[in-house]
Amino acid sequence: MKRKLAALVCACLLLTGCGTSQAAPEQTPLQKTLFAMDTTMDLQVYSDDKTLLEDAAALVEELESHLSTTRVGSDIYTLNHSGSATLSPDTAQVMGRALEMCRDTDHALDISIYPVVRAWGFTTGSYQVPSRETLDQLLPMVDADRIDFDPATRSAAIPEGKEVDLGAVGKGYTGDRLSTLLRDRGVTSALLNLGGNVQAVGTKPDGSPWRIAVQDPLNADGFLGVLTIADEAAITSGGYERYFEDEAGNVYWHIIDPATGCPAHSGLLSVTVVGPEGLRCDALSTSLFVMGAEKAEAYWRAHQDFQMILLTEDFQLLLTEGLADRFTLPENSPYTPMVLSAEAQN
């Protein structure tokens, strides 16, 4: 796995809102930047109600205090350290949906991957390549089906040695909750960039869709293309977001294949998923990256409630047909997009 990615940027630059409003001056958005969930978040909200931003920031803080794996006393910390916990309504919601997605993706997503993620040092930044023996000892712990969760009582329990990590879906859920908060308070126009996970409330104030740039994983200064979105999430996962390199130049990234315990090498460099629900898009961006192009395409055909953009290691840019008119490549793009049709190929 020799791949020099030294020039690549962190997740916070992954997707950048580039749709500044062309609306009248009185429609200047309220703006707030905060650091939470290990990333930089930018909120852009068209409203006169300045308390909205404070309330949005408080909601992010509250969600992090429940969902975090590292904060002492969070639902997930308690579950991981004592083997059982009664989850807050938000954590229970994320847990229930995430477990469904683990099953639905045939465990390409597995929220019990945490012991393996830690063995690679991604939880602390003290990176290391674990031995095969260590991984083989940890892999039996990775099986989300063995998480005992009762949505009615919100009680969760895990066997000894097992640990849960909602990192692959938490920011998507946070985007959903923020969007609902803003809509409930009458906002019809907002763009939320949660460390590269973009969530749009409505359209730009002039009624046109938001335009967001999708990062090119091979060129920190470039972008794959500009995507138009309205009232939906656009969420990207890529190997280049968080990774380390060993002395031989091998690159190891933070998305792990639960089947092997190693960074997923499925032939993809990045996956962007566009759809109405942030949590599902977040779960899918991670799991389709693990699956690789062929399985991702089959999954899309079977479900078709989302659209996606895949960049492969051999520089193929694949777009599902629903994005054909919504994704514009820059003039000097090195890529020729191939549009995937919903009709199964023979």
Extract the tokens encoding 65.
């205090």
Among Mg ion, ligand ADP, none, partner that 118 touches (CB below 5 to 8 angstroms by kind): none
Extract the tokens encoding 124.
């602390």
- Please, are residues 203 and 211 in contact by the beta-carbon 8 Å criterion? no
Residue with tokens 């062309």: 22
Query: Which of the residues 276 through 295 are near Mg ion (CB under 5 A)?
Result: 282, 285-286
Nearer to ligand ADP, 154 or 171 (CB): 171
Dmax (CA) for the chain in angstroms is 62
Query: Which of the residues 106 through 165 are near ligand ADP (CB under 6 A)?
Result: 109-111, 113, 117, 122, 165
Could you list the beta-strand ranges (E) of the chain: 15-17, 30-36, 39-45, 84-86, 148-150, 155-157, 189-194, 197-202, 210-216, 219-229, 233-238, 243-245, 251-253, 256-257, 262-263, 268-275, 307-312, 317-320, 327-328, 337-340
CA angle, residues 175, 95, 132, in degrees to nearest 5: 105
Min dist. Cβ of residue 140 to ligand ADP (A): 16
Query: Which of the residues 40 through 79 are near ligand ADP (CB under 6 A)?
Result: none
Site string for ligand ADP, 254-273 (x = CB under 6 A): xxx-x---------------
- Which residue type, as a one-letter code, is found at position 267? G
**Stretches 16-24, 160-168, 179-187, 300-308: which one binds Mg ion (CB under 5 A)?**
160-168
DSSP string, 112-168: T-HHHHHHTTTTTS------HHHHHHHGGG--GGG-EEETTTTEEE--TT-----TT
Min dist. Cβ of residue 242 to Mg ion (A): 12
Min dist. Cβ of residue 282 to Mg ion (A): 4
Which of 13, 109, 147, 168 touches Mg ion by CB under 5 A? 168
Residue among 21, 47, 16, 9 nearest 213 (CA): 16
Count the site residues for ligand ADP by CB under 6 A.
Answer: 23
Min dist. Cβ of residue 45 to Mg ion (A): 24
Nearer to ligand ADP, 101 or 200 (CB): 101
**Stretches 44-52, 80-88, 153-161, 280-288: which one binds ligand ADP (CB under 6 A)?**
280-288
- Indicate whether 237 belongs to the interface with ligand ADP (CB under 6 A): yes
Per-residue b or e along 179-212, where b marks 16 or more CB atoms closer than 10 Å to that residue's CB: bebbeeeebebbbbbbbbbbbbbbbbbeeebbbb
Min dist. Cβ of residue 284 to Mg ion (A): 8
Among ligand ADP, Mg ion, none, partner that 256 touches (CB below 5 to 8 angstroms by kind): ligand ADP
Residue with tokens 């083997």: 83
Min dist. Cβ of residue 152 to ligand ADP (A): 25
Residue among 19, 156, 13, 174 nearest 87 (CA): 156
Min dist. Cβ of residue 279 to ligand ADP (A): 11
Query: Which of the residues 171 through 200 are near ligand ADP (CB under 6 A)?
Result: 171, 196
- Say how many CA atoms lie within 13 Å of 54 toward its Cβ: 4
Min dist. Cβ of residue 281 to ligand ADP (A): 10
Interacting residues with Mg ion (CB under 5 A)? 168, 282, 285-286
Contact residues for ligand ADP, defined by CB under 6 A: 11, 109-111, 113, 117, 122, 165, 167-168, 171, 196, 237, 241-242, 254-256, 258, 282, 285-286, 290
